[in-house]
Structure 1
Amino acid sequence: MTYAIITGASKGLGAAAAKQLLLEGLNVISVSRSENEALKETAEKESAKYTHYSCDLSSPSEVKGVFTEIAGMVFQESGEDVYLINNAGMVDPIETAGNLDEEITEKHVNVNFLSPMIISNMFLNKAEALDARLVIANVSSGAGSRPVHGWSVYCSTKAAINMFTQTTALELENQQSRHKVFAFSPGIMDTDMQSTIRSSSKSAFNDIDTFKNYKEEGKLRDAETVAGALVNVLKSDEIENGKIYQINDFL
């Protein structure tokens, strides 16, 4: 069986990617706090295998427990392909340094960076032991390569996931491993995260008017289009290890 595990698959890019992978016949495991009922309906219609695990990805202990169980399911037969999309993310707190909410900041770092590291580390270990081929996609952002006023936490975690991706890829290449890891920057999409950004204050986020204009001028891409590009890279035989793919390269 070929499995695809997607975090944050209840909505947005994660849900769109999960649906496309179901339509392509993969066994999909979604991990998020709430379940997307439409994915369950798609799986039933396509006679595909779909499993949902409820998990608070801001809790490292919960992540370890849930993904230990998932790993036991997917890593059973040698030679199988396993796809992992670390998609779950949050943009809050949108605020200047010195005014950050410490509890939300800790949650943000856990969701955007610590959990993907924990999951990737666990899956690489299991895949190597069973001789399964693992492909990891870490959803990144253009904010990971430039500073944005009010996004000190978001920019930092996205920069961190980029470096984790590149360093892991270097290690895999040095080990002559067949595993692949890449990052994917999806650009601006019409998702709940954009709504959160537009609801912030001008003092906390200087670029708020620009992001409001993106919505008003119809410049936000739909999640389905972006998910199509992500899935195409994920299933490609020519993935460049450690590369940070940009959505603009595909559209």
Structure 2
Amino acid sequence: MKIFIVTGASKGIGLELSSQLNAKGNRVIGIARTNPRNEKDFVLADLSATTQLDGLITKLIDENSVNTTSFTLINNAGMVDPIGLIGTVKSEEIESAMAVNLTAPMILSNEFIASLKSFKGTKRIINISSGAGRNAYEGWGAYCATKAGMDHFSRVVALEQANAEHPVSIVSIAPGIIDTGMQEKIRASDGNTFPLLDQFIDYKEKGLLSSAQETARKLIAFMESEQFSSAGTVVDIRDY
């Protein structure tokens, strides 16, 4: 049995990843604030409340350790807010972005690695990153910073795990520009504080956005391919 733990599983890429992985016969455990489909294997959790995350991953691993050959943690949950030039955004919004986009994935990854230290099967962490972590965009100070942090955290873990007896593979992957609720929020932002607004409206109007369904299919194909182990730590799905 292969176990997949997916954060942000209630919508967008997370929901599609969960559905498609389930359809392949895997056991998928979703983590999100809501469970719109009333899935059986689902944990309700607010990732911005990072002090409440201790023990979450350990519990899930302990409950699903029998006859399991593979564990994969997909840190997919993320938020684009606050959108705005630095100097105009609210402190609490920056704090929430840091918690959801970076602190929570670090906490979950730390516990995942610790709990599976002696596990000899396949162990993988997939961090859903963004091109915003590799390029600077006006109005996305918090989002760019947290995604860059995600990439660099992944590099550190990869270095550390290279010396582990039973290493965890880790990849931080940018999924491209996807037609999800996050894009709707971006297009509804204020052009005065987000200079790239027209560009993102054009993406939609010109049909340049990938669907969540197709993106999830590509991510799963990448995880299942031989390229996963040779691609490197920080990658872009559009290169595969």
Q: How far apart are the structure 2 equivalents of 1:5 and 1:32?
A: 11
Contact 2:55 2:111 in 1 (8 A): no
Contact 1:120 1:136 in 2 (8 A): yes
Contact 1:183 1:245 in 2 (8 A): yes
Q: What corresponds to 2:223 in structure 1?
A: 234
Pick the aligned partner of 1:211 from 195, 200, 205.
200
The change in CA–CA distance for 1:240 and 1:63 in structure 2 (over 3 A counts) is: farther
Q: How far apart are the structure 2 equivalents of 1:4 and 1:244?
A: 20
Give the TM-score taking structure 2 as reference length.
0.93
Amino acid at match of 2:215: V
Matches for 1:154-169 after TM superposition, within 5 Å = 154-169=143-158
2:123 is the alignment partner of 1:134: yes
Deviation at 1:161, TM superposition (A): 0.3
1:51-71 CA-to-partner distances (Å, cap 9, x unmatched) read 010000001122224333223
Contact 2:2 2:26 in 1 (8 A): yes
2:180 is the alignment partner of 1:191: yes
The change in CA–CA distance for 1:176 and 1:65 in structure 2 (over 3 A counts) is: closer
The change in CA–CA distance for 1:90 and 1:169 in structure 2 (over 3 A counts) is: same
Q: Which runs of 5+ in 1 are unaligned?
A: 41-49
Contact 1:75 1:126 in 2 (8 A): no
Q: How far apart are the structure 2 equivalents of 1:159 and 1:141?
A: 8
2:21 is the alignment partner of 1:21: yes
Moved over 4 A (4+): none
Q: How far apart are the structure 2 equivalents of 1:242 and 1:113?
A: 20
Q: How far apart are the structure 2 equivalents of 1:88 and 1:210?
A: 24
Q: How far apart are the structure 2 equivalents of 1:105 and 1:150?
A: 12
Q: How far apart are the structure 1 equivalents of 2:56 and 2:111?
A: 12
1:221-244 CA-to-partner distances (Å, cap 9, x unmatched) read 001111111112223344237522
Q: How far apart are the structure 1 equivalents of 2:123 and 2:6?
A: 13
The change in CA–CA distance for 1:112 and 1:242 in structure 2 (over 3 A counts) is: farther
Q: Say which structure is richer in helix.
A: 1
Deviation at 1:171, TM superposition (A): 1.1
Secondary structure of residue in 2 paired with 1:182: strand
Q: How far apart are the structure 2 equivalents of 1:159 and 1:14?
A: 20
Deviation at 1:146, TM superposition (A): 1.1
RMSD across aligned C-alpha pairs, in angstroms?
1.7
1:172-218 CA-to-partner distances (Å, cap 9, x unmatched) read 11335442000110111000000110111112110000100111111
Q: How far apart are the structure 2 equivalents of 1:68 and 1:177?
A: 17
Contact 1:180 1:241 in 2 (8 A): no
Q: How far apart are the structure 2 equivalents of 1:131 and 1:177?
A: 6
Secondary structure of residue in 1 paired with 2:118: helix
1:27-63 CA-to-partner distances (Å, cap 9, x unmatched) read 01000001131x84xxxxxxxxx50100000011222
Q: How far apart are the structure 2 equivalents of 1:62 and 1:90?
A: 19
Size of the aligned set, in residue pairs, is: 239
Give the TM-score taking structure 1 as reference length.
0.89
